[in-house]
Amino acid sequence: MGKKAVVIITAAAVCAAAAALVVRHRMRSSGRWARATAIIKELEEKCGTPIGKLRQVADAMAVEMHAGLASEGGSKLKMIISYVDNLPTGTEKGLFYALDLGGTNFRVLRVQLGGKGRGIISQEFTEVSIPENLMVGTSDALFDYIAAELAKFVAKEGQDYQLPPGRQRELGFTFSFPVLQSSINSGTLIKWTKGFSIDDAVGQDVVAELSKAIEKQGLDMRVSALVNDTVGTLAGGRYVNGDVVAAVILGTGTNAAYVERAHAIPKWHGLLPKSGDMVINMEWGNFKSAHLPLTEYDHSLDTESLNPGDQIFEKLISGMYLGEIVRRVLCKIAEEASLFGDTVPPKLKVPFILRTPDMSAMHHDTSSDLKVVRDILKNVLEISNTSLKVRKIVVELCNIVATRGARLAAAGIVGVLKKVGKDAFKDGEKQRTVVALDGGLYEHYNEYSKCMENTLRELLGEEVSESIVIEHSNDGSGIGAALLAASHSQYLGVDES
């Protein structure tokens, strides 16, 4: 055999081997895609929220609300009595303050109310960060620091903010930590969260602690209302619109509050309020039901969380967790379908590295080559050179997780409307019902908000949904608290001349 023949045979063998490699790579690649597609398809099925299931969730929410109102510990829903029995009406007049303590910063606000038809004339606030040593120090040190800042804020006021002689300044105190409330302006601290650990404050009345510190500053100011930010959102909504019956926060966390008839609260043992109403802080993030569509990713997230078994509803619908669910699914696809190459990118294994704002940005990416998705994968997860096909999978995944969350949030709202009898028309009566909403998730994740509002219409039906309105109510923890100080003022009914 000549040299020429040997060369030809060798070249043919190389070509055949190369072709075999290409075929093997294509087969492997198509196997990977088949696995990736199967994982996404299974997720979509498990996250499914058909209308029948959502009705079951809404019914379960209403049932749990009844149980939580009947007795303490009767339900996963705490249904906390807020002692707010007078919501603002829009006629409040005068100067009121708010202190909003919910994390490593606190805000002090001043709100001037103009009375009927005039609304909020002016508002000012200052934000102060809390030194780390005070977050783990003593109760006196923390409240003395806060009261000193409050006194500084008041000291800078001009002549426009002078009160009539003998009149005390009044303040609404938003305290976003677990408290056992015993009246509109008293409540004992159950435990600290969010990095605070001040042992001698636990079991103490936080209003008494703040009042003592205010007195030390020589400031004549009374704490009129101790409130939760969701109750504040309800107050802010009602001040602007008398048809507001409930408020929902959809942000990092989630909660709901609503107006209940006092006689429909079996666990209430006090005198019935004159208004006949009582605001209930549901703490609905802790809602749990067999009807909730949970996946393996939700179970593992819950097991590894700081509060396993608690806040299950919150872990499905709120901003703290949506991005993390997406990360967990991507991690599985990377492991089982080598979506991002033969090894799992190290950053993808880091819990909570993918935040919900990143997820939202990817979900909203309308560019033809999904440039935003490419950049977030590269900058946040250090995954480079992704194909358009891979980026489309990521967007689909964001859509599945956000859609489930939004539709469940809508079912929760319908559960609340059902409890207060606003989910259907009675005797042909068409009354407008407003739900006040606040929170970064609702405000900034448009696909989520849109899906939630569409689902509400789907659940309520066209006719009823025409009378149900969702309104954005901003800054319940600040302005809402000042408004509650006004509606629970000691000077109510005193003629202001």
Structure tokens at 253: 């966390």
For residues 170 and 422, give the distance between their C-alpha atoms in angstroms, rounded to a whole number: 35
- Residues, the chain: 497
**Spatial separation of the C-alpha atoms in residues 14 and 204, rounded to whole Å:** 82
**What's the rounded Cα separation, in Å, for the pair 261 and 265?**
7
Burial class from Cβ neighbours inside 10 Å (0-12, 13-18, 19+) for residue 427 reads exposed
Contacts of 428 (CB under 8 A, 6+ apart): none
Asked if 205 is an active-site residue, the reply is: no
Rounded distance between C-alpha atoms, residue 24 and residue 328, angstroms = 29
Residue entry with tokens 């790579």: 25
| List 194, 389, 392, 430, catalytic entry | 194
Catalytic option among 205, 229, 302, 423: 229
Contact criterion met (CB below 8 Å) for 441 and 448: yes
Structure tokens at 214: 């205010």
Which residues make Cβ contacts (< 8 Å) with residue 331, sequence separation at least 6? 344, 348, 349
Produce one character per residue of 11-25: b if its CB has 16 or more CB atoms within 10 Å, e if not.
eeeeeeeeeeeeeee
CA-CA-CA-CA torsion sign (35, 36, 42, 46): positive
- Any long-range contacts for 338-344 (C-beta under 8 Å, 24+ apart)? 338/32, 339/32, 339/36, 339/390, 339/393, 340/383, 340/386, 340/390
Question: Where does residue 170 rank: exposed (0-12), middle (13-18), buried (19+ CB within 10 A)?
Answer: buried
The answer to whether 281 touches 484, Cβ cutoff 8 Å, is no
Helices (H), 248-345: 296-303, 312-317, 319-337
Distance, in Å, from the CA atom of 335 to the CA atom of 129, rounded to the nearest integer, reads 42
229 has catalytic annotation? yes
Residue 290, number of CB atoms within 10 A of its CB: 8
Pair 186, 207: CB distance under 8 Å: yes
Which stretch of DSSP H or E encloses residue 136? Answer: none
Q: Are 344 and 329 in contact (CB under 8 A)?
A: no
Positions marked catalytic? 194, 229
